[in-house]
Structure 1
Amino acid sequence: MNKAEQHISTLVRESRDAGDVILLESQMTGHPASTKSYLAMQPAAYIKARGNETEIWDGESVQVFTGDPWDYLSRFKKEHNEWLFGYLGYDLKNHIENLKSNNKELINAPDLYFMVPEILVEVDATGKVKYIKGEPNQTLKKGKESGEISITLKNQISESEYIRKVKQAKKDIYEGRYYEINLSHPLEFEIKGDSWDLYEAMKTAGPVPFGGYANIGHLSICCSSPERFLARSGNRVWSQPIKGTASRKAGKKVLVDIEKLRQSEKERAENLMIVDLVRNDLSRVAELQSVKVSNLFEIQSFETVHQMVSTVECTVPDQTDSIEIIKHCFPMGSMTGAPKIASMEAIEKYEDYKRGIYSGAMGYITPEGDFDFNVIIRTAISEGEKLVYPVGGAITSDSDPMAEWEETLIKARAITTILENLEEAE
């Protein structure tokens, strides 16, 4: 851990008792998407929504509104023309399309949360620390020391049940209801220990360009995401969907693994379907004929997997509202399937839990309206001693049900590797 990381770790540990904390961290030195990291602390104002009810705190009093949370988020941004940090939960889809979320909720979390931080720290790619806003209060309590983490698996779907659902989805695809769907299932754990220790253990097990940590009241989010959902810089907006995964096995030649993934017709087809979906999403906000695929089928390597990443971008007109851009593209197509509405309807049918934060987006919006959001995957979401870690994958007509099951287990390694290390240490 370098000096900047030590400084951020100390701030997180010492600041959580003083208010909510959100860290957005680029963890992979040298990765093209690993640039700046931000730590936002101590809300000066916040907005959070659940269903049709939105709560806004302006620093002095709380007001509760009924209606579309997207509209209230847009108003909140206009009223607080400052940095915003937070997340968008998957179930905000219900306020974009005529959809519902009736499955059981595993973690009690708002559908949406954003805060205006009193203190904002930036760490650039070289490790230089800069306070953009405020400074830590010298009277902050000393944070908890690093301690042991105990995680016990309590519940997960059976192999046979997941394979049955994959077969049902393939039947739907054959009948023409949709041509790709992302099916997930949650791993449920009991956790004892500090969520920040878990986040640091996940980071050590596999650094990523879009890591994130949040401590919001009773809720903790430990995110090891490799994927960008959507970003804006001035008039340029771009998305980088990931579809196509291959295990990165120890002892095998990396170049052989990469080339096998690159040449896989199945993985390329999966990726191209989502690229087309993202192009369609961006076309709703883009200037005419400005949508383009600037990088197709790029292979990026992470600790446990190689993945296929494409970049789709466009130009938006001046003064285009950033919340509207995000809303038109939400949720990320790589986490739904295509067409989007049909696949989301099927997800509600085949999955037996409410996704909540999982497969939503976590990020920031600047005072100028620029933004950057990840896709919330490879993420441990905890409430008290309950922890949920969903995993999933894209199902197409060519999918092998057993291979799809095994792919979800590969993606779970960010958490299961920690379990194995804990067992070895005992």
Structure 2
Amino acid sequence: MSEIKRVNLPYQTSLLSFFSAVRDLPYPALLDSNHEHFSDTQYDILVANPLARIRPSQDDALSGLISWRDKPLYELQITHNPMDLLNELMTLICQEPWAKSAPKELPFTGGLLGYYGYESGHFVEKLPDTVKHDIQLASLDMGLYAWAVISSHQEKTTQLVLTPWCSDEETEELVKRFTSAKSDNLKDFTLKTPFTSNMTEGEYAEKFAAVQEYIQSGDCYQVNLAQRFSSTYQGDTFTAYQALRDVCPTPFSAYLEVSPEQSLLSHSPERFLLCDKGRVESKPIKGTIARGGTPEEDKANADWLIASEKNRSENLMIVDLLRNDLGRTCLTGSIKVSKLFALESYANVHHLVSTVEGAIDQADQAIRVFHQSFPGGSITGAPKIRSMEIIDELEPHQRSAYCGSIAYFSSNGQMDSSISIRTLVADHGNLHCWAGGGLVADSKCQEEYQETFTKVGKLTHTLEHVFLK
């Protein structure tokens, strides 16, 4: 019987040079943990050249859902919903004999990896769509990958993990690439224009007032209102990604090259959902304050955030929302809150982070838990559906990858995913990033407006300082 194979490679503290070795292959993706800065991050994962890609077409979301690299591996039912197709595909993968015996200690043993844009929520719920769509990325784009390079930073190992889908010739070629990989000189990247917002301060204030009116009328308790910052660029966005990685390390960083002219540069601090041997975990972030300029100011800011009733109540709203979302698919009685209002600190901000846990009993169900909980409540508001309707009404442009998720679903039942905040979308010479915050009844307009700049400033200021000509 065919089984998962492993080839030991020299241990890599990061997979940046290995990523460069496969950039000529289609749809390379790097999940980058920045483990030197975060004690609970264990793995980096690199994939490329998927066997298939699942993505709605740009002009018609009901056609062209899957394209195979070679001969199709599976007969799949015709569906108008890519999430249904992904559910079916993952079920078939997990039923493979080699998948049932795949090692559970590895995070990824072949399977699906890619991104879900925020607008993928339209495949979960019936929602309005009145915003301007000016970004050419598909609303979701998942690859079916036959191999992965995995660095385990606890074990200090790097392995090439190969499914039986890999031929001997492909295996030999991959080993050759990685054993001879060298750090490339960074290619040129230039930011051509400063970042500008898609709303003025006055327009933000009008939208803030509209949210307050909805809250006071009982439509909702919280709405995440975001503004988009855009620039133009030329050159290699992987160079920009590495510069941002150095100044704002985060545990859920990722670089996905969707096409030669499209990429995602994600520096997210937030986990959406993890599934580890049947245990499901979500770590919503809600509550933010800037880092202080001195150790004393920094500690005072952190202490204020921990004690802030407003931020604690915002966090609790999202914890309750996630408990409800996970309750759709997790085992009855398994859901618990293991951490509430924990402080986590990053290069530019402190956050309040809670941890919600549950359990499932089927290997392929991890993707169903994800789909039934998408998008993450920490970036919508509460109640979720009404908040998303208000977001569509008030925000002028699509969110694209922002507030969606970068995720993988492994043949061994494992899954991990981020909330794609602090994420830039590069699209044919245009570069976009977003920042938002949860508005509640006692929010102050100027404070919330400034918080969006605090969240995104490390990204935009770094790119403008280093690359703006």
TM over 0.5: yes
Say if 2:393 is the partner of 1:349: yes
Instruction: Tell whether the 8 Å contact from 1:53 to 1:64 is kept in structure 2 after alignment.
Output: no
Moved more, 30-39 or 332-341: 30-39
Instruction: Tell whether the 8 Å contact from 1:54 to 1:66 is kept in structure 2 after alignment.
Output: no
* Aligned counterparts of 2:423 and 2:466: Cα–Cα separation in 1: 19
List per-residue Cα deviations over 1:116-149 (Å, max 9, x = no partner): 2344111112553211124627479999731343
The partner residue of 1:100 within 102, 113, 128 is 128
Instruction: Tell whether the 8 Å contact from 2:79 to 2:85 is kept in structure 1 after alignment.
Output: no
Counterpart for residue 53 of structure 1? 63
The partner residue of 2:226 within 178, 184, 187 is 184
Counterpart for residue 4 of structure 1? 12
The partner residue of 1:403 within 447, 450, 453 is 447
* Aligned counterparts of 2:33 and 2:272: Cα–Cα separation in 1: 15
How far the C-alpha of 1:384 sits from its partner, in A, is 2.1
Instruction: Tell whether the 8 Å contact from 1:162 to 1:405 is kept in structure 2 after alignment.
Output: yes
Say if 2:104 is the partner of 1:76: no
Q: Which amino acid in the other structure matches residue 230 of structure 1?
A: L
Say if 2:429 is the partner of 1:385: yes
Aligned-pair identity (%): 31
Q: Which amino acid in the other structure matches residue 353 of structure 2?
A: V
* Aligned counterparts of 1:124 and 1:3: Cα–Cα separation in 2: 9
Q: Which amino acid in the other structure matches residue 190 of structure 2?
A: S
How far the C-alpha of 1:389 sits from its partner, in A, is 0.5
Say if 2:118 is the partner of 1:90: yes
Match of 1:114, SS state, is strand
Say if 2:182 is the partner of 1:153: no
Counterpart for residue 7 of structure 2? none
CA gap 1:83/1:64 in 2 versus in 1, 3 angstroms: closer
Runs of 4+ in 1 over 4 A off after TM superposition: 61-66, 137-144
Match of 2:353, SS state, is strand
Match of 2:187, SS state, is coil
How far the C-alpha of 1:419 sits from its partner, in A, is 3.0
For normalisation by structure 2, the TM-score amounts to 0.85
Say if 2:242 is the partner of 1:214: no
How far the C-alpha of 1:280 sits from its partner, in A, is 0.6
Counterpart for residue 165 of structure 2? none
Counterpart for residue 292 of structure 1? 336
How many residue pairs get matched? 423
For normalisation by structure 1, the TM-score amounts to 0.93
* Aligned counterparts of 1:378 and 1:143: Cα–Cα separation in 2: 26
Match of 2:403, SS state, is coil
Instruction: Tell whether the 8 Å contact from 1:153 to 1:187 is kept in structure 2 after alignment.
Output: no
How far the C-alpha of 1:14 sits from its partner, in A, is 3.2
* Aligned counterparts of 2:129 and 2:175: Cα–Cα separation in 1: 42
Moved more, 332-341 or 107-116: 107-116
Moved more, 90-99 or 46-55: 46-55
Q: Which amino acid in the other structure matches residue 331 of structure 2?
A: E
Unmatched tracts of structure 1, length 5 or more: none
Match of 1:136, SS state, is helix
* Aligned counterparts of 2:27 and 2:119: Cα–Cα separation in 1: 22
* Aligned counterparts of 2:267 and 2:458: Cα–Cα separation in 1: 8
List per-residue Cα deviations over 1:72-94 (Å, max 9, x = no partner): 11122234444221111111211
Say if 2:4 is the partner of 1:14: no
Matches within 5 A, 1:320-331: 321-331=365-375
List per-residue Cα deviations over 1:163-182 (Å, max 9, x = no partner): 22111101110111100000
Instruction: Tell whether the 8 Å contact from 2:37 to 2:249 is kept in structure 1 after alignment.
Output: no
Q: Which amino acid in the other structure matches residue 346 of structure 2?
A: F
Matches within 5 A, 1:214-233: 214-217=256-259, 218-233=261-276
* Aligned counterparts of 2:229 and 2:13: Cα–Cα separation in 1: 29
Q: Which amino acid in the other structure matches residue 74 of structure 1?
A: N
Instruction: Tell whether the 8 Å contact from 1:293 to 1:312 is kept in structure 2 after alignment.
Output: yes
How far the C-alpha of 1:231 sits from its partner, in A, is 0.8
